[in-house]
Amino acid sequence: MRAADCGGSRCASVRWLRRGDVAAVNDLTTLRPMTELAGEHRTKIFALVANDVGLIMSSSNANKAYLSGYASMAHDVASDYKSAVLATRDHAALVVSAADAGPALEAIEDPGLLYRYGEFYFETTGREGRWFEDGPSATFEEAAGDAVSRLQIGRELVGIDRSDGDLLWNMGREILGEQRVVDVTNDLRTARARKTRGEIERLRRATSLVENGLHSFIANARVGMTEIDIAALISERIAGGGGVPRFVSVTSGPRSALADAYPSGRSVAAGELIRIDAGCTFDGYWSDVGRTFIFGEPDARQSALYQAILSGLEAELAMLKAGVTASAVFDAAMSAVRAGGIPQYRRQHCGHGIGLRSYDSPLITSRDGTELLEGMCLCLETPYYELGREGMMVEDTVCVTPTGHEPITSISRELVVLS
């Protein structure tokens, strides 16, 4: 795709970002509340687990958001932060630090569903005052135990997610006894793999924010700008639309072969590839977009290599539909890239699930025989990295349908030629 021959603010070959596009992205009123989605998710997971499971517990940040609707910044910035969701069919309680209690209350609105621990102080004047004045538990373990006892689940079983370690598993067995605790890790993974419309809307919103950042770069591109300059343009659009920039990898020239690398102060010269791999979160849902750019016409080698990796992604898209295995999609990508001009092409994977985690189930590898199902959302990619020379990539997000796929990424997949 050529981003050249543009007059004023218009260009025949590039979909330029317009004022209305920004307004649409910033209009958050069309999205249903996260807590409403969480109610659907609880119905979904309880339909998968055994009938005598009455409570599901998880300390995973993704599963907390999935079951309660609360995406925790505290957990984002401290991966070892102790917190948990305790979900019944009808509601979800949260065990959070005293500092996290304010944001959590804003999300779920019912102080009776929050169990605090540790030391932190909020001055209060409204209805929350009496609740915040009640002392929190000293430790996470005490608060979690209090929550289990107060939820009154009778003799029903407790399902515990072990994806984030065995702290809750061991606590549950100690408090309730081994016979009343069951592992629901795989059930939660299965439930989250197939997205609801509300989840797809958020994936689409997160993706559009990155794409708006790429359009901003195209509109402002100039030889000599640094990788950091480019990353700043992208990040500004993401944050301005309500997203949280999570990774904005902008690499150029020989650095474009470095895969997941931070942008540097390196200036981009004419004829050099610029590889951008960027993602953000919106309401906890991730995006992941990969594109390649160049100032001026690519040489024959660059064009041939890019067409080879593009043919791999297009082969994945052509193969994709419900009932196909992840390994079959991987094999299609590898065969196409090798036949297209990179016979030595190697990859550990050619895509992954995406949702409340950037890498979710399934993984598009030769060893993953997972059958793809309607509603699974995937990032498909076929990057190529040649250390000391250059790298390139193209990556799209799609959702699986019975007959093919629903695109989430909309920006052109072609190598973008910048004037």
Fold equal for 2-26+195-418 and 34-192: no
Percent of the chain with pLDDT over 70: 91
Residues 6+ apart with CB under 8 A from 4: 11, 13, 417, 418, 419
d(CA 200, CA 207): 10
**How large is the average pLDDT for residues 283-288?**
98
- Structural domain boundaries of the chain? 2-26+195-418, 34-192
Q: What is the mean pLDDT of the chain?
A: 92
State whether residue 229 is helix, strand or coil.
Answer: helix
130 burial class (0-12, 13-18, 19+ CB within 10 angstroms)?
Answer: exposed
pLDDT digits (tens, 9 = 90+) for 317-354: 999 999 999 999 999 999 999 999 999 999 999 999 99
Fold for 2-26+195-418, please state it: Creatine Amidinohydrolase (3.90.230)
**How large is the average pLDDT for residues 192-206?**
97
What integer pLDDT is reported at residue 184 of this predicted model? 98
What integer pLDDT is reported at residue 11 of this predicted model? 35
Q: Per-residue pLDDT for 267 more than 50?
A: yes
Q: Per-residue pLDDT for 59 more than 80?
A: yes
What integer pLDDT is reported at residue 153 of this predicted model? 81
Residues 6+ apart with CB under 8 A from 129: none
Helices (H) and strands (E) in the chain, counts: 13, 19
Question: How far is it between the farthest Cα atoms of the chain?
Answer: 72
d(CA 292, CA 395): 10
HSE, CB side, 13 Å, CA atoms: give it for residue 306: 26
Place of tokens 């309607």: 374
Q: Could you tell me which of 152, 139, 143, 136 has the C-alpha nearest to residue 98?
A: 136
In terms of CATH, what superfamily is 34-192? Creatinase/prolidase N-terminal domain (3.40.350.10)
pLDDT digits (tens, 9 = 90+) for 81-106: 999 999 999 999 999 999 999 999 99
CB 197 within 8 A of CB 222: no
